[in-house]
Structure 1
Amino acid sequence: MLVVGAPFGDGHMRAAEAVGRLLRQCNSDLDVAVEDICVHLFRPLRLDRALRAAYRWSTSRLRGHPHRGLYRVASRWPGIVCRLSDLAVGRSAARWLRRMSPDLVIATHPVAGYLCVRRRAATDVPVVQLVTDSGPVNTIWFHGRYDRLLLTDPGTREHAVRLLGPASHVRVVGAPVLPALRARRQQAECRDMLGLGQRFTVLLTAGGAGLGQGVLAAARQLAGSDLDVQLILNAGDNKALLARFHDLAAHRQWLVRGASDDFEVLLAACDLVIGKAGWFTLNEAAFSGRPTLIVDVVPGQEEWNAGAAEALGVARRVRPSEVVSWVRKYAETPALLRTDFAVDEPAEFVAGWPLRLAHALGDLVSIAGPTTGLGSSAG
């Protein structure tokens, strides 16, 4: 089994890791490899690092217009983008796939999925595409003859069927959140683990890649306020943002974190999340019962993510300049979080992804076994 993602943003690889861990847990006979495809395509350049740096630049410079332009090109001419990608690294992808020799491939990035379909061995290894975005997603996700198309958002189904036809192999499984989140840690316990007090706590997160100027702007607004709340500032793997967060936290009892493996502890410890509209961060927060104030949106897909999260009632878009008044409101009356946001039903839906995934892949691989208890109902 090969679960393959790519380094753009963080949701693609987080989804791949969650699926890989579930497969290992539910069938000990499976040999599961979770890989960033870009690590294996052009080793002299370290393509994964170069592309991650390029992605961070395109989303954070010039108000994100470079990324918006690339997004539109990929959606309007997906065939050209995919063929150019195959022309550049297709042979490397073919050699890597031959070495891996998988019986099944699950891809969590559109170009990674296309390369696996285009360059899979003559034995016709099944390739499953897991769409890690929401709403009317970029059409590049559908450019490829996949054996199965899995969606994380029910709202994407109509869009997919309209493009692919009603006979297409489309299944809605929900967002694969990391298994660690399902532990449902207690808030007081997590605050003790992090050295925090037992009072209203806000998690400001820029995602795993540390993107979004709005999150930094919101942190500055809170730093200049008189609010008596605890802040957790999560910069992901963005070292420059981490340094700015440390500057803001100087002489304050705030917790500053970079890239870490305990994001579920940060979520459990907080009452409210402030961040960008990464689809998996929004789902992880909803699953943990934590509403989100969206202060930044990467142009392109995250605009749809934000709209979908607002429609579900798990998030609200606000300007960074407004966060002080919103946090003050909820810090003074925390019960309003349960009335202003609806997280219970979305959390239940996210919780059911393991059973839905098992059902969607049941004819391709056996991942039955201990799936009971991993989520609620298959829905």
Structure 2
Amino acid sequence: MKIVILSMFSVPTGHTKVAEVLQDSIRQDYPDAEIKIIDFLSFSNPLLEKMISGVYFKWIRTSPESYKGFYQKVMMKDKEQSIFLRSISRFATYFEKKVLKVVEEEKPSLVICTHSFPSGMIGRLKSREGAIPCKTMNAYTDFFVNGVWETGKIDYHLVPTAEVKETLIMHHNVSADRVYQTGIPVSDVFKSKDSSQSPRSKKGKHILVAGGNSGLCVWKNGIKDFSRYPDVHFSVLCGHNHRLYRSLLNQPNITPYMYIQDQEELNALYDAVDGIITKPGGVTISEVLHKKIPVFILDYLPGQEEFNLHYLVGRDLVFHIRDAEDFSSLEEILYDHKEIQHRVENMETYLSSLTGGLTDVLRKIQEETRQTIKVKSVKGKADIGVFLSS
């Protein structure tokens, strides 16, 4: 079996993390599988990737309202209405050729997309019969689906919520048996045990602060406020931000960490804390939902994180503290067992709605492939080979 997983950027993002989770999950069940993660934009043109990623991160940081407007008016539109897709169409041929190059060189049995852009390019190619002969799959990395994702022409979908599943079925004409409500894929390490718990003690809480791989503070000027809460110990994930890490060293109630690659180490840290302050990124939120850790959102990036926040707040899965000046309310909530338990119960309800997984999809593809071989054999056509080794 050969599977290609298409992410977008070579820099660490939620899309690349999900690609790695899928790779590990497949290898666990199919150790002989050949799996290749390809950062699509880097593969297409490394200089272009560097330029686009630089503009993207600078745009969000320096002009968040402008990016928010762009995302809402462009990325969230249906394909027929999308200005972005119409404008990119003049360049689409270039990226289509890159997708075809991947398929022709790698000859995969399955292509999985963890980013909307390569999915959209595959959709364009799928309009031409035979252009993409292998099976295709979307693994969504947020709690909603933007308009760039190809939906109708993709064979299988790993969706985060019942709402997304219903949208694909009702509005995109996707067959229900092609949609698997798996949640956003996270490592099995975070599913290993039930981590729901009552508050650990009456005094001396431990809070994890996670601001993404860049180590951005999760609310404006919030770091300097930590010293105001001597009874709370903060573990701060600084990502790859060395400057932030150095600034937090030797502060009495802060333990800073650089980017944690080891999932077991991160899981141990999750187990040690009473709550987490973070942005509503799909992957991190999904990890802590599985751990059933109280989540506090104080800030978010415009675009996808804002849409994630709407979903999470609407279902009472997280606490949304709208102003850094109200940070003191976090301490009160940490000692309010009723409020904590309410969120934990909602997390349990969400998790209980998840069914199936990647292994189920692969088994289904295997059976469909065998049936195709059988039909073709009966018709006297050449055997096309078995998708998965038994």
Aligned to 1:28, the other structure's residue is in SS state coil
5 Å-filtered alignment, 1:100-249, equals 100-118=106-124, 122=131, 124-135=133-144, 137-142=145-150, 145-165=153-173, 167=175, 169-184=178-193, 199-211=204-216, 214-223=218-227, 225-237=228-240, 239=241, 242-249=242-249
In structure 1, the gaps of 5 or more residues are 188-197, 367-379
Aligned to 1:34, the other structure's residue is in SS state strand
User: What's the CA shift for 1:103?
Assistant: 0.8
User: What's the CA shift for 1:263?
Assistant: 3.0
Question: What's the RMSD between the two structures over aligned residues?
Answer: 3.2
Residue of structure 2 equivalent to 1:301: 304
Aligned to 1:293, the other structure's residue is in SS state strand
Residue of structure 1 equivalent to 2:251: 251
Aligned to 1:138, the other structure's residue is in SS state coil
Supply the distance in 1 between the matched residues of 2:163 and 2:274 (Cα, whole angstroms).
28
Larger CA Rg, structure 1 vs 2: 2
Contact 1:210 1:235 in 2 (8 A): yes
Residue of structure 2 equivalent to 1:99: 105
Q: 1:202 to 1:162 in 2, by over 3 A?
A: same
The question of 1:4 aligning with 2:9 is answered: no
Residue of structure 2 equivalent to 1:89: 95
User: What's the CA shift for 1:273?
Assistant: 0.7
Residue of structure 2 equivalent to 1:191: none
Supply the distance in 2 between the matched residues of 1:304 and 1:186 (Cα, whole angstroms).
27
Which of 320, 336, 339 is the aligned partner of 1:317? 320
User: What's the CA shift for 1:39?
Assistant: 2.5
User: What's the CA shift for 1:66?
Assistant: 2.4
Supply the distance in 1 between the matched residues of 2:160 and 2:90 (Cα, whole angstroms).
27
User: What's the CA shift for 1:94?
Assistant: 2.4
Task: Tell me which amino acid in the other structure corresponds to 1:2.
Answer: V
Task: Tell me which amino acid in the other structure corresponds to 2:164.
Answer: T
Supply the distance in 1 between the matched residues of 2:295 and 2:255 (Cα, whole angstroms).
19
5 Å-filtered alignment, 1:32-43, equals 32-43=35-46
Task: Tell me which amino acid in the other structure corresponds to 1:231.
Answer: F
User: What's the CA shift for 1:185?
Assistant: 9.4
Contact 2:7 2:114 in 1 (8 A): yes
Contact 1:185 1:268 in 2 (8 A): no
Aligned to 2:301, the other structure's residue is in SS state coil
Contact 2:140 2:184 in 1 (8 A): no
Residue of structure 2 equivalent to 1:371: none
Supply the distance in 1 between the matched residues of 2:292 and 2:110 (Cα, whole angstroms).
34
Q: 1:296 to 1:310 in 2, by over 3 A?
A: same
Task: Tell me which amino acid in the other structure corresponds to 1:266.
Answer: L
Aligned to 1:290, the other structure's residue is in SS state coil
In structure 2, the gaps of 5 or more residues are 197-202, 368-390
Supply the distance in 2 between the matched residues of 1:85 and 1:203 (Cα, whole angstroms).
43
Task: Tell me which amino acid in the other structure corresponds to 2:119.
Answer: G
Supply the distance in 1 between the matched residues of 2:365 and 2:67 (Cα, whole angstroms).
39
Supply the distance in 1 between the matched residues of 2:70 and 2:325 (Cα, whole angstroms).
29
Contact 1:218 1:321 in 2 (8 A): yes
Q: 1:37 to 1:264 in 2, by over 3 A?
A: farther
Task: Tell me which amino acid in the other structure corresponds to 2:209.
Answer: L
Contact 2:6 2:113 in 1 (8 A): yes
Task: Tell me which amino acid in the other structure corresponds to 1:217.
Answer: N
The number of aligned residues is 348
Task: Tell me which amino acid in the other structure corresponds to 2:321.
Answer: V
The question of 1:280 aligning with 2:248 is answered: no
Supply the distance in 2 between the matched residues of 1:323 and 1:201 (Cα, whole angstroms).
18
What is the percentage of aligned positions where both structures have the same residue?
18
Contact 1:227 1:328 in 2 (8 A): no
Q: TM-score of the superposition, structure 2-length normalised?
A: 0.77
Q: 1:298 to 1:322 in 2, by over 3 A?
A: same
Contact 1:176 1:350 in 2 (8 A): no
Task: Tell me which amino acid in the other structure corresponds to 2:148.
Answer: I
User: Deviation string for 1:95-151 (max 9, x for gaps)?
Assistant: 23322221101111111222344458746111111222224x312223662112331
Q: 1:49 to 1:234 in 2, by over 3 A?
A: farther
Contact 1:79 1:143 in 2 (8 A): no
User: What's the CA shift for 1:21?
Assistant: 0.8
Q: Where in structure 1 do 4 or more consecutive aligned residues deviate above 6 Å?
A: none
Supply the distance in 1 between the matched residues of 2:104 and 2:124 (Cα, whole angstroms).
13
